[in-house]
Structure 1
């Protein structure tokens, strides 16, 4: 797999808009994040560690902050978003019911703080 930009180029337009929005929010919150790979997935890296990956799966879009603790930090808020589910290290949603910006920001900030230690 290539970079985040490569991933976005190859997506269906509706998915591209949804996924790019999350990456854009992450870059606003962590402007020093760089493109790379996290566990083989295109991701944003912060201080050399995976910050966030967003990928299209067959039945959903998955948001991977590489941190069960960061998912737990926003789980209650995510529970109020239709067609969304939370698992140990993943948030799944449908493009027609995107994650609200404030949840994405909280997720990214939680992961950044975890990396900062």
Structure 2
């Protein structure tokens, strides 16, 4: 499983793409695979404030329900409506069309490089 090296990762299996003051957030391919077929996504709404390390949504699969943890603190400025309409896109394209939210960042939580995350999931 190749990890995009332009992203940062969290120990809770989220990825962050730095786009200046805005960060795009999603879950990793490892997380999507572990969850199984995702059938429902509950995300924060545009305008909500999220806090790094705190749950800000849920992903429901055929196996379980898992919290989405905010990797950054800030205001949600966009939500990917495509994953609301077709949650399976998170499984099929987690680093592309399966992104979840965009946040105007005021603080970044603890992150890992692609290599550090790769080491974490291979333990």
Shorter-chain TM-score above 0.5 = no
Q: Please give the TM-score of this superposition, normalised by the length of structure 1.
A: 0.30
Q: Which protein is richer in helix relative to its size?
A: 1
Q: Please give the TM-score of this superposition, normalised by the length of structure 2.
A: 0.29
Q: Which protein is richer in strand relative to its size?
A: 2
* Structure with greater contact order relative to length (CA < 8 Å, sep ≥ 6): 2
